[in-house]
Chain A
Amino acid sequence: MYFESFAAFWHMAGHGSFVWSAYGMSFVVLGLLVLQPLVRYRRELGRIKNSAVAVLQQNATPSSADSAQVEK
């Protein structure tokens, strides 16, 4: 550790506000780059799954619906 105390680390001899705002900004942007596609991907998969289930239910004729019930 180069700094003698946490306060010195935070203050960085007057450059703290520059250093920490640059790093804070970077973590926000990098975090969004991970979270945004992850959330959209999950949502899209859910939509695809739901429509696949809907198609299956639509295709099921009344007689086969009964057998599907039994399978469950």
Chain B
Amino acid sequence: MANWQWFHRLGSPKWLLATLDRWLPWLLSLGLLMLVGALAWGLAFVPPDYKQGNSFRIMYIHVPTAVVALAAYYAMAIAGAVAMIWRMKVADMVMRAIAPVGAALTFLALVTGAIWGKPTWGAYWVWQDARLTSMLILFFLYLGVMALYDAYSDRRNGNRAAAVVALAGTVNIPIIYKSVDWWSSLHQPASIKFTEQSAIASEMLQPLLLAIIGTYFVFAAMVILQLRLQIVLSEGRSNWLAEYATNKLR
């Protein structure tokens, strides 16, 4: 018999808050360590690109934020689906926790991409480009989810509306991935390939992979920070939380 105890525990905000407190310092410090190390490596030690010169160093922050922003959207949509199907309170909180972090990462991918575009393409923004436009739509989807869950006086209605938009918006994710192949684009195609040799020198690739892993860890820590806040906001009247708050702020 499979042990489903962990799944039931996940539904307990009290148990969850204590667990998140334990995980947070490790995820945040490990993630920051990897990210800072990878960025220093990419900024100062890797030789410049033979075509783009030093501007390519923006890649070490642009690509990780974009990759994690896309993965975060799937995570948020799955949380929304779980919340709708099983009426799980914690899943709603996870959806609410991921949205602002995903929105900020998408914003960073857009801004760093625009700054990289100026010396490389000669323009900050090109409206005809499918990759840029679909990424902008991702940003608006995140903002839409955030706006919806606060738009109803009944919290449950807000959660449901946000989850529906989150699920419908998943259509956009494969479009973002494939946009550089389907339409002619200024944006360069993916250099990291899983099925064949990557189109990037390995000395450039290594710090990039480390930066992506580090960003995943930092992302997890940021979601935990938001999730703790969500738990405290929605469980404000329970006795166990009053006890927790008194112990924390002793």
Contacts and interface: CB of A to CB of B under 8 A. Distances in A.
Interface of A: 1-3, 9, 12-16, 18-19, 21-23, 25-26, 29-30, 32-34, 37-38, 40-42, 44-46, 48-49, 51-53
Given A29-B104, A34-B222, A52 B245 contact: yes
Contacts of B45: 1-2
Task: Please classify the interface of chain B as helix (H, G, I), strand (E, B), loop, or mixed, using the class held by over half of its residues.
Answer: helix
Given A15-B53, A22-B58, A45 B248 contact: yes
Given A13-B54, A18-B58, A45 B245 contact: yes
Contacts of B53: 12-15
Task: Please classify the interface of chain A as helix (H, G, I), strand (E, B), loop, or mixed, using the class held by over half of its residues.
Answer: helix
A71 to B, nearest CB: 15
Contacts of A9: 43-44
Contacts of A25: 108, 111-112, 115
Interface in B212-250: 218, 221-222, 225-226, 228-229, 232-233, 236, 241-246, 248-249
B48 interface: yes
A18 B116 contact: yes
A1 B221 CA distance: 31
B210 interface: no
B245 A19 contact: no
B36 to A, nearest CB: 10
Contacts, number: 109
A22 B119 CA distance: 12
Interface of B: 28, 39, 43-48, 53-55, 57-58, 61-62, 65, 100-101, 104, 107-108, 111-112, 115-116, 118-119, 218, 221-222, 225-226, 228-229, 232-233, 236, 241-246, 248-249
Given A19-B54, A26-B108, 15 more contacts: A12-B57, A19-B57, A19-B58, A22-B58, A22-B61, A25-B108, A30-B218, A32-B104, A41-B225, A41-B228, A41-B232, A45-B248, A48-B242, A49-B242, A51-B242
B225 A38 contact: yes
B115 A21 contact: yes
A40 B58 contact: no
